[in-house]
Amino acid sequence: MKKTDLLIGFIIRIIGAFIGVFLFITLFTDFEFVDGVIALKSQNSLGKLIALGAVINVIVFLLF
């Protein structure tokens, strides 16, 4: 495995998690993205949100 492949996989994983978090906040809450992140951080639910966003990584893993 090349180091470039590892770097590309890491970048895709970060982008996938961000897209998952963004979609969850915009589709399932009444907040805008930044306001939703702030509200969930104040409720100590930010880690759970990131875990939900990481579900997109499973889809990316199965595709590539």
**Model confidence pLDDT, tens digit, residues 19-35:** 888 988 999 889 899 99
Mean pLDDT of 6-28: 88
b/e per residue 34-57 (b: at least 16 CB within 10 A): eebbeebeeeeeeeebeebbeebb
Residue 42: its pLDDT value, please?
93
